[in-house]
Amino acid sequence: MSEFMQFEIKKRDAAGRIGRLKTRHGTVTTPTLLPVINPNKLIIPPKEMKRLFGTEMVITNSYIIKKHDDLRSRALSEGVHKLIDFDGPIMTDSGTFQSYKYGDIDVDPLEIVTFQRDIDVDIGTILDVFGTPDQTEDEAKRAVNTTVERAKKSVLVKGHMLIACPVQGSVYPRLRETCAKKLGELDADFHPIGGVVPIMEQQRYATLTRIILASKKGLPPNRPVHLFGAGHPLVFPLAVALGCDIFDSSAYIKYALEDRMIHPWGTSHLQDLEELPCSCPICSKYTISELKKVEKKERIRLLSEHNLHISFGEIRTIRNAIAQGVLWEHVEQKASMNPALQDALKELEKPSNNHWLEQFEPMVKNRALFYTGHHTTYRPEITRMYHRLFNWYKPSSDIIVLLPESVKPYHLTYETVISDIQSVCPQAEIVVDSMMGPVPIVIDEMYPFAQSIFPQCIDKDTSHMRSKRLNRFTRGKTKLQWAGNNTLKELERYMNSEPVVSMDEKRVRAVATMQFGPDAAEVLFDGPLHIVKSKNTGKIRNVYCNSDHIVSMRAGDGLFTLKKSGGKKLHKHFSSPRFRVIVSADAAPFVEEGKSVFSKFICDADNDLRPLDECIVVDEKDRFLAVGRCLLNRMEMISFPSGQAVKIREHEKESK
Ligand code: GUN
Ligand code: ZN
């Protein structure tokens, strides 16, 4: 990656991120939209776009500039920024799309790259080969090979320009992934996903999803990803949730030329509208009948403005959703506006895709997870916890008492029931049959079990998943549906003389298991425990073992924060790289004194760490330095050359 390029994650949700992308002409906040500028026809000048919509970067076409003598010579003498009168970052495309649309064009792959460099473009694009959706796999492979060959030569001549190398591969996920991997190994800076315009025009969003996922799987996570030609805000939320950072829109002008208006839910023809269903400055100023009567040229400008207001509005909505941890809710809401998007969500339920998404999903959010439809039960936050429940969690016995879904937190609603059950059979595993699936009472405060809102009446898919999860959890065990005194009588039969563990201790051990793994509780809590609870809420606050402060429990999400003593126990008992973020020798003294860990100093990390997971920080000799909280997963820690990766909580040395 170029020394001029810097991309950092600032906030995140799903596999989406709010990023900061540095270029020579300023820093851009992503996700963002680059309006397409026709250098021949500045209908809304880019400078005005900045004022009207907060546009930070635009995209124009170097092939068009090069083809027109006047534009070419002005661009070469004054630079592209003067040419279109914009002092922010400018990206250019290369003519690939023109060649796809109009057949062979007269451009040399290297000449167009050096031309972009010479007119001082911030991000230039190689002349990739557009892979159409109707290609055979062999044809697509040839197009990918040519694209990769051109990319290899192009990166050598990019100079100080950032270079975009598009991922091609038609509709074939394996080809997309290989293409992405090969491009990822090059000194490229930016990766559009190409060849998707016809797929989006046909609203084949399931195919689009497979393409985005395959491309993302192959690319290093630190490269900004651009969905080439995605100009309709309907697809922005899904694409962002899958990890796309940049969109470009010529749709705003194309639609305006045909009297069409972009809405958050679709598109409509001005003539078909009874009222203006929008309150942007244009739609607030005009009535529908006035707008219909405006003279054509002016109407194009007005509709373009409306279209850009809606598109940038969607970008702001998405950034907000990321910051608040509700991006999936937003994606699902969008999907309810268009059946084709429902098919896309279905793709995400496939285990391999779900698995990939889970790696990027933060461990906790500061808002409750909302049920927004049948897709909700497949959300990575939920599938992750069920994976852990089935594979890590150890029920306290084979006798399971099932309580019906109720008000959360369950252990307060069922306080008397729990104490009645405990008095006759303290070993019984008490589980709530929640809308998501089984929730053992001892982990009912963990995210997202307590922090989720489901309706009382769920759809068939969710109901099916709920019973599937319950059956898996109770397989081979004795399952008693709670029925008051009758259940208590039956439970008496199962009473045994095993030592009784307090509910609080069970909770502490169960949370540690679900958070750190099946063998962590024994290590963290290897002696007599002292559990301190909040006087106000009765919730567990701090856990001491042999008078060492091991962990604190966060009231909001019910997970532990790791204290230094806890971290040291994990460090002592588990070998590297488990729980670890390993930093280089030059960073170690700073971390030891409590400074944040920046990703450029990270040598390696535990592959099972997730964003917002607790971790221990060590040096290359596995010397313990600190405990902290990850902002990135391992893949990201290794690939990002800058930005914060771990926030330190407690460190080994007092700072001087
Ligand atoms: N514009 C829309 N799609 C593409 C593509 O695949 N490649 C390039 N270079 N530009 C595009
Ligand atoms: Zn409007």
pLDDT in tens, 73-96: 999 999 999 999 999 999 999 999
Ligand 1 centroid – CA 99 distance (Å): 10
Residue 221 lies in a domain: yes
Contact in structure between 399 and 429 (CB atoms under 8 Å) = yes
Residues 388 and 320 in one domain: no
Residues 321 and 205 in one domain: yes
Residues 201 and 317 in one domain: yes
Confidence (pTM):
0.97
Residues 336 and 406 in one domain: no
The pLDDT confidence band at residue 499, using thresholds 50, 70 and 90, is: confident
Residue 613: its pLDDT value, please? 98
The pLDDT confidence band at residue 2, using thresholds 50, 70 and 90, is: low
Ligand 2 centroid – CA 307 distance (Å): 7
Contact in structure between 93 and 62 (CB atoms under 8 Å) = yes
Contact in structure between 164 and 91 (CB atoms under 8 Å) = yes
To test the pocket of ligand 1, the residue of 99, 102, 129, 130 to mutate (highest count of ligand atoms within 8 Å of its CB) is 130
Of the chain, the percentage scoring pLDDT greater than 90 comes to: 95
Q: 124: Cβ below 6 Å to ligand 1?
A: no
Residue 655: its pLDDT value, please? 57
With a cut of 70, say whether residue 1 has pLDDT above it: no
With a cut of 60, say whether residue 357 has pLDDT above it: yes
Residue 519 lies in a domain: no
Residue 301 lies in a domain: no
DSSP secondary-structure letter at 596? P
Residue 263 lies in a domain: no
Whose alpha carbon is nearest atom 7 of ligand 1? Answer: 194
Give mean pLDDT, residues 442-462: 97
Mark the residues whose beta carbon lies below 5 A from ion ligand 2: 278, 280, 282-283, 306
Q: What is the pLDDT of residues 103-152, one digit of tens each?
A: 878 899 999 999 999 999 999 999 999 999 999 999 999 999 999 999 99
With a cut of 90, say whether residue 176 has pLDDT above it: yes
Residues 202 and 55 in one domain: yes
To test the pocket of ligand 1, the residue of 96, 101, 196, 208 to mutate (highest count of ligand atoms within 8 Å of its CB) is 96
Whose alpha carbon is nearest atom 10 of ligand 1? Answer: 97
Which residue is it, tokens 């790696």? 359
Residue 646 sits in a domain of what CATH number?
A: 2.30.130.10
How many domains is the chain built from? 3
Residue 103: its pLDDT value, please? 86
Give mean pLDDT, residues 329-346: 95
Closest CA to 91 of 50, 67, 126, 66: 126
Residues 133 and 253 in one domain: yes
Whose alpha carbon is nearest atom 5 of ligand 1? Answer: 194
Residues 619 and 593 in one domain: yes
Give mean pLDDT, residues 360-389: 97
Looking at 470, 494, 518, which one is the last position of a domain?
494
The pLDDT confidence band at residue 422, using thresholds 50, 70 and 90, is: very high
The ligand whose atoms approach the alpha carbon of 306 most closely is 2
Residues 488 and 576 in one domain: no
Residues 68 and 213 in one domain: yes
Rounded CA separation 203/525 (Å): 54
The pLDDT confidence band at residue 276, using thresholds 50, 70 and 90, is: very high
- Tokens representing 129? 């080969």
**Which segments of 231-276 does DSSP mark as H helices, in order?**
236-241, 251-257
**Enclosing domain of residue 137:** 6-257+310-347
Burial label for 212, CB within 10 Å (0-12, 13-18, 19+), is buried
Residue 72 lies in a domain: yes
With a cut of 70, say whether residue 543 has pLDDT above it: yes
Closest CA to 209 of 348, 80, 310, 334: 348
Instruction: Please enumerate in sequence order all residues whose Cβ is within 8 A of that of 649, keeping only pairs 6 or more positions apart, or say none.
Output: 561, 562, 563, 626, 627, 628, 629
Residue 337 lies in a domain: yes
Looking at 494, 525, 541, which one is the last position of a domain?
494
The ligand whose atoms approach the alpha carbon of 196 most closely is 1
The pLDDT confidence band at residue 496, using thresholds 50, 70 and 90, is: confident
Residue 270 lies in a domain: no
Residue 3: its pLDDT value, please? 62
Q: Which ligand 1 atom sits closest to the C-alpha of 168?
A: 6
Residue 569 lies in a domain: yes
Of the chain, the percentage scoring pLDDT greater than 70 comes to: 99
Residue 380 sits in a domain of what CATH number?
A: 3.40.50
Instruction: Tell me the average pLDDT of the chain.
Output: 96
Which residue is it, tokens 């661009």? 75
Looking at 292, 322, 347, which one is the last position of a domain?
347
Residue 653: its pLDDT value, please? 85
Residues 314 and 378 in one domain: no
Strand partners, 542: 532, 552
Residues 169 and 314 in one domain: yes
Give mean pLDDT, residues 365-393: 97
Residue 81 sits in a domain of what CATH number?
A: 3.20.20.105
DSSP 93-155: E-SHHHHHHHS-----HHHHHHHHHHTT-SEEE-------TT--HHHHHHHHHHHHHHHHHHH
CA distances from 345 to 131, 196, 237, 337 (A): 24, 18, 12, 13
The pLDDT confidence band at residue 495, using thresholds 50, 70 and 90, is: confident
Residues 91 and 167 in one domain: yes
